[in-house]
C-alpha cells in the first residue's frame, strides 16, 4: 500500500449535501481528511449530521431561515454557523483548507468560486456554472492570484488527466464524451411524449435531479463544451461531442500528430474528486476495477443536435460570447425547475430557453461581472414570464 502523503490535511466542501458533495465527504472519510467548512442550501437535518461527523469550524446555510435552525441544532457545539452567499464567501476566506471542493448547484456557485481563487486556495471545481456564466472572469482571476483550478466534472477531469502538453498548439481537438442520456435515438415527435419519470432515469450516472434533466436534454453537454473552452483555452470548434453510451471513456484529447489520449474507468465521481485532491499524485480509491473483457466493446455515435437543440445553442452562446452563456444557463435553470414541478413539458424546456436566448441577444457584448449578473436576473425574469 502506498502511503497517503499526498492527501491535503484539510479541505472545505461547498454544497456538501448534494450528490458530488456527499461523494466528496466519502473521499474525506476514507482518507481521514479534516474538513473545516461545510455549506448547503437548506437541508438542515443532513447538514447537522455532517457537522456532527466532521466537526468543521464553519457551517454555512445559503438560506437564512435554515441557518437560524442549524444554529439552534448545533448550539451544544463550537461550530460557527453563517448564512447566505456572503457567509459562504467569508467562511471560504477564513477557512484553513488547502483545497476547496465547490459542488454548489447553479449560478449560486459563482461568487464562492471567486472567493476561493481570491484566497489562493486550490479550487476543485464541480460547479460548472462558474465557468459557463463568467468563464473569462474566473480564468482571469485564477491567473491573477495563481490559484489552481482542478476540474471535478468527469469529462473535464478526464481531459485534464489526458493532457500531456502545456503547449496548446499541440492540441488538435478535444473529444468530449456524452452518455446521450435516456432519450438517445428518440425522434422530436417521441420527445413530445416523455414524462418526468422517463427523464429522471439516467442510464449510467447517478446524479441530482437538475443535472439529470440537463443530461437528458443535452444542455449539460452544452455547458460542458463551454466549460472546456475556458478550462483548456481551446475554441468551441475544437470540441467534438461524441455519444458514448457506456460512459467508460470519460473524454479524450487528440493531438496534432493524430495520437488520441483518453481516460477510462468505471463511472464513479469519487475518482474525479480524489484526483483533484491528490493531483499531481495518485493513490488507492474505492473504485471497482475496469473489466474490459466483460465490457467486450465500446460504442460511439454523433449527437443529434436538431432533435436536441440546446447543445447547438450552447455552441452559439460561446461563439457569441458576452453574457449569452449566462443567459442560456439562467433560462435553463428556470425552465428545468418548472419541468421538475410538472408545470411544463420536456420539449417546452427547449422553447423557453430558445425564446429567452433570442430576446436577450443584446447581451452578447457584455463583459463586466455586474452586467453579466444583471443579464442572468433578466433572463430568469423573461423565462419565468413565459412559463406562467
Ligand atoms: Mn459531466
Q: Mind listing the pLDDT tens digit for each residue in 68-99?
A: 999 999 999 999 999 999 999 999 999 999 99
CA distance 331 to 335: 6
Cα 260 from chain centroid (whole Å): 25
pLDDT over 90 (residue 203): no
State the average pLDDT for the chain: 96
pLDDT over 90 (residue 5): no
- How many Å lie between the centroid of ligand 1 and the Cα of residue 166? 23
- How many Å lie between the centroid of ligand 1 and the Cα of residue 267? 11
Phi and psi at residue 95, in whole multiples of 5°? Answer: -70, 145
Q: Is residue 18 very low, low, confident or very high in pLDDT (cuts 50, 70, 90)? A: very high
| Percentages of the chain per state (helix, strand, coil), in multiples of 5 | 50, 15, 35
pLDDT over 90 (residue 177): yes
- How many Å lie between the centroid of ligand 1 and the Cα of residue 173? 18
- How many Å lie between the centroid of ligand 1 and the Cα of residue 179? 9
- How many Å lie between the centroid of ligand 1 and the Cα of residue 229? 14
- How many Å lie between the centroid of ligand 1 and the Cα of residue 155? 5
Q: What is the mean pLDDT of residues 34-50?
A: 98
Q: What is the mean pLDDT of residues 95-113?
A: 97
Cis amide prior to 280 (ω within 30 degrees): yes
Q: What is the mean pLDDT of residues 195-200?
A: 94
- How many Å lie between the centroid of ligand 1 and the Cα of residue 158? 10
Q: Mapping DSSP to helix (H, G, I), strand (E, B) and coil, where does residue 55 land?
A: coil
List, in sequence order, every residue forming a beta bridge with 99; answer none if it has no partner.
11, 122
pTM here? 0.95
- H runs (alpha helix) in the chain: 19-30, 44-54, 64-73, 84-94, 110-118, 129-145, 154-162, 188-191, 196-199, 209-217, 219-232, 269-278, 292-295, 309-320, 324-340, 346-359, 369-387
CA distance 388 to 384: 7
What does the pLDDT read at residue 206?
Answer: 74
- How many Å lie between the centroid of ligand 1 and the Cα of residue 277? 18
pLDDT over 80 (residue 266): yes
Cα 303 from chain centroid (whole Å): 21
Q: By the 8 A CB rule, do 321 and 134 touch? A: no
Phi and psi at residue 317, in whole multiples of 5°? Answer: -60, -45
Q: What is the mean pLDDT of residues 357-366?
A: 97
Reported for 47-55, long-range contacts at CB under 8 A and 24+ positions apart, including other chains, are 47/16, 47/17, 48/73, 48/74, 50/16, 50/17, 50/25, 51/77, 51/79, 52/77, 53/25, 54/25, 54/28, 55/79
- How many Å lie between the centroid of ligand 1 and the Cα of residue 124? 14
Provide the residue count of the chain.
388
Q: Three cell numbers at 68? A: 437560524
- How many Å lie between the centroid of ligand 1 and the Cα of residue 135? 17
- How many Å lie between the centroid of ligand 1 and the Cα of residue 153? 5
Q: Of 147, 146, 103, 111, nearest to 128 (Cα)?
A: 103
Q: What is the pLDDT of residues 305-361, one digit of tens each?
A: 999 999 999 999 999 999 999 999 999 999 999 999 999 999 999 999 999 999 999
Q: What is the mean pLDDT of residues 135-139?
A: 98
Question: CA gyration radius for the chain?
Answer: 20
CA distance 298 to 243: 11
Cβ-Cβ contacts under 8 Å for 276 (sequence gap 6 or more): 99, 101, 122, 124, 125, 150, 151, 152, 157
pLDDT over 60 (residue 146): yes
Amino acid at each position: 500500500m502506498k502511503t497517503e502523503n499526498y492527501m491535503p490535511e484539510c479541505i472545505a466542501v461547498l454544497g456538501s449535501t448534494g450528490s458530488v458533495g456527499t461523494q466528496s465527504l466519502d473521499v474525506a472519510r476514507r482518507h481521514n481528511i479534516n474538513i473545516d467548512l461545510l455549506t448547503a442550501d437548506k437541508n438542515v437535518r443532513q447538514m447537522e449530521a455532517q457537522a456532527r461527523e466532521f466537526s468543521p469550524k464553519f457551517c454555512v446555510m445559503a438560506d437564512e431561515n435554515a441557518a437560524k435552525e442549524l444554529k439552534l441544532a448545533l448550539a451544544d457545539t463550537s461550530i460557527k454557523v453563517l448564512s447566505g452567499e456572503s457567509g459562504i464567501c467569508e467562511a471560504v476566506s477564513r477557512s484553513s483548507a488547502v483545497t476547496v471542493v465547490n459542488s454548489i448547484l447553479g449560478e449560486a456557485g459563482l461568487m464562492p468560486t471567486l472567493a476561493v481563487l481570491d484566497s489562493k486556495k486550490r479550487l476543485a471545481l464541480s460547479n460548472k456554472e462558474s465557468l459557463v456564466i463568467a468563464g473569462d472572469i474566473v480564468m482571469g482571476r485564477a491567473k491573477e492570484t495563481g490559484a489552481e483550478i482542478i476540474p471535478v466534472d468527469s469529462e473535464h477531469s478526464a481531459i485534464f488527466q489526458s493532457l500531456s502538453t502545456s503547449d496548446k498548439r499541440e492540441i488538435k481537438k478535444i473529444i468530449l464524451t456524452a452518455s446521450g442520456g435516456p432519450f438517445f435515438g428518440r425522434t422530436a415527435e417521441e420527445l413530445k411524449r416523455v414524462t418526468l419519470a422517463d427523464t429522471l432515469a439516467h442510464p449510467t450516472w447517478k446524479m441530482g435531479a437538475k443535472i439529470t434533466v440537463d443530461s437528458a436534454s443535452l444542455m449539460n453537454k452544452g455547458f460542458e463544451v463551454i466549460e472546456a473552452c475556458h478550462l483548456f483555452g481551446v475554441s468551441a470548434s475544437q470540441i467534438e461531442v461524441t455519444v458514448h453510451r457506456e460512459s467508460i471513456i470519460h473524454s479524450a484529447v487528440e493531438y496534432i500528430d493524430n495520437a488520441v489520449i483518453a481516460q477510462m474507468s468505471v463511472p464513479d465521481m469519487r475518482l474525479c474528486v480524489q484526483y483533484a485532491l491528490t493531483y499531481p499524485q495518485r493513490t488507492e480509491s474505492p473504485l471497482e476495477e475496469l473489466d474490459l473483457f466483460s465490457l467486450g466493446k465500446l460504442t460511439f455515435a454523433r449527437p443529434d443536435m436538431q432533435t436536441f437543440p440546446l447543445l447547438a445553442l450552447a455552441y452559439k452562446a460561446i461563439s457569441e460570447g458576452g453574457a449569452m452563456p449566462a443567459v442560456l444557463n439562467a433560462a435553463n435553470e428556470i425552465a428545468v425547475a418548472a419541468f421538475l414541478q410538472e408545470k411544463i413539458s420536456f420539449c417546452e424546456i427547449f422553447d423557453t430557453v430558445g425564446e429567452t436566448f433570442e430576446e436577450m441577444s443584446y447581451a452578447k457584448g457584455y463583459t463586466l461581472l455586474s452586467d453579466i449578473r444583471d443579464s442572468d436576473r433578466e433572463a430568469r425574469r423573461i423565462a419565468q414570464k413565459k412559463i406562467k
